[in-house]
Amino acid sequence: MAGAASAVLAGVVLYVPVPATASRALESPERAAERAEREVPSLGLVWGKVRGWERVGDGWTVLWQPAHGMWLISAWVPDGAAPVAWRVDAASWLPGVRLPRRAAEALLGSGEVVAQARERLGRRDWLVGERRLLGALPAGGDLPSRHTSRRPLLEAVLAGLLLAGAVSRHLVPGVSGRGWRRAVGMTVLLLALTLPQLSALAPGSFEAGARPWVAELSFGTAAVLLLGALVFASQRFPAPGGTVPLGWLPVALAAGFLAGRIEPSGWLAGTAGLSLRLGVWACLAVLGGWLAAFAGDGFREMVRTAAWLRYVGLCALLAAGVLLGGPWLGVTLAVAAAAAVERGWGTWMGVAVVWGWIAGSVWTLARWEAAVRDSLAFLLLGCVLVAITYLVKARPDPASEAADRP
């Protein structure tokens, strides 16, 4: 019954009309890289491997860098027929020529625009309008930048709820759930194995003049420290054990999917370009749901003095998520769902909402065939897990049946 309800609700939220709030990617980062390699003029440089990508506006920003790291080639590939914008960055110590101003203006055909010189260690670079010269090498111009959608007030509230959750689980530990301890530990281990791929989602860590393996190592080190902190927190502040809210899980999964469609999170579109995307999404859903339940415990303890205060607080949190959440809507909804139920149900509800939110965000933003297929498969996997959980919990216990016999 729960699996059927999940499938029905998932089918309904797939076709609920919602306004388009973000640009949809019509092609994968791999296809965008192939197009850039075809259309960008030959620069006489070895491009190297594709190191990372990022969704910026109506296109993909893709980075290439050779193993020696002396230069970095970036290209912004729009979804439509607009031309590809490109840029070359080279290490400041890489030698070149020192062209005079008139030669630089003549090389780029600046017209009335006056070239501006930039002295480097072994060469002179020139900026002519939006175009650049590295020595005598045309290096493209500026690329579109990503507009970060920050919600400082809401982020501060969520961080405060995490701290409150740590205090509440320390003072009122309750019965810890061993299953969630193992789940978080296994999730962290699986996510750590995918770190070589996840470095592609942090293109800002690659710089000209630094070898790409150094950037990948620094990203991996920071990620391992963060994952280690999550493992420590899962052991020090374990999720409380309890029964499974079978009747609420389909609703939470559908609500998360709808939140992802209404306010998708842009960075999740980049995860759809990974070859191990299904595993990465599952790991993110478990960790995100566990953290949401962590914050939900803090919120529940803060408003437990009166029943009316709990209802008012939940309404205020939901209103803040809808009005101010933006890409944080799914996370705020997961915290509210975890705080609205009893303590033993919180982690289940948080994981279900985050699972649906990831599937909804990817399905909304990544519209090429493989990403759409895998996002729907990920949603269907959530429905199957709900059904399996229901069947396991609904199966009678042989020991209890034997005890009831005369």
pLDDT digits (tens, 9 = 90+) for 147-156: 776 677 888 8
pLDDT classification of 96: cutoffs 50, 70, 90: confident
Residue 401 has what pLDDT?
A: 43
Residue 397 pLDDT greater than 60, yes or no:
no
Q: What are the pLDDT digits (tens) for 344-356? A: 888 999 999 999 9
Asked whether the beta carbons of 244 and 224 are under 8 A apart, the reply is no
| The pLDDT value given to residue 157 | 86
Which pair of structure tokens corresponds to residue 161? 């709820």
Nearest to 285 by CA among 273, 293, 274: 293
In tens, the pLDDT along 116-149 reads 888 988 899 988 888 899 988 889 888 988 777 6
Query: Mean pLDDT over all residues of the chain?
Result: 86
Tell me the pLDDT tens digit for each residue of 242-269.
Answer: 778 877 888 899 889 989 988 898 889 9
How far is residue 201's CA from residue 359's CA, in Å, rounded to a whole number?
Answer: 18
CA dihedral 191, 196, 202, 207 (to 10 degrees): 150
Q: Other CB atoms closer than 10 Å to residue 46's CB: what's the count?
A: 13
pLDDT (average), residues 12-31: 79
pLDDT by residue (tens digit) across 277-313?
999 999 999 999 999 999 999 898 888 877 778 888 8
6 band by pLDDT with thresholds 50, 70 and 90: low
Asked whether the predicted pLDDT for residue 9 surpasses 70, the reply is no
Q: Give the closest residue to 51 by CA, choosing from 277, 210, 266.
A: 210
pLDDT greater than 80 at residue 38? yes
Looking at the predicted structure, is the pLDDT value of residue 31 above 60? yes
Count CA atoms closer than 13 A to 50's CA, side-chain side: 22
145: which 2 tokens?
A: 């930048």
Q: Which band of pLDDT confidence, cut at 50, 70 and 90, is reported for residue 402? A: very low
Neighbour-count burial of 190, counting CB atoms closer than 10 A to its CB (0-12 exposed, 13-18 middle, 19+ buried): middle
Residue 403 pLDDT level (bands cut at 50, 70, 90): very low
Q: How confident is the model at residue 399 (pLDDT cuts 50, 70, 90)?
A: very low
Q: Are 290 and 390 in contact (CB under 8 A)?
A: no
Other Cβ atoms less than 10 A from the Cβ of 121: the count is 9
Q: N- to C-terminal Cα distance for the chain?
A: 32
pTM listed for this prediction: 0.89
Instruction: Give the pLDDT confidence score for residue 4 in this predicted structure.
Output: 64
Quote the pLDDT of residue 389.
Answer: 79
SS3 content of the chain, % helix, strand, coil (to 5): 60, 15, 30
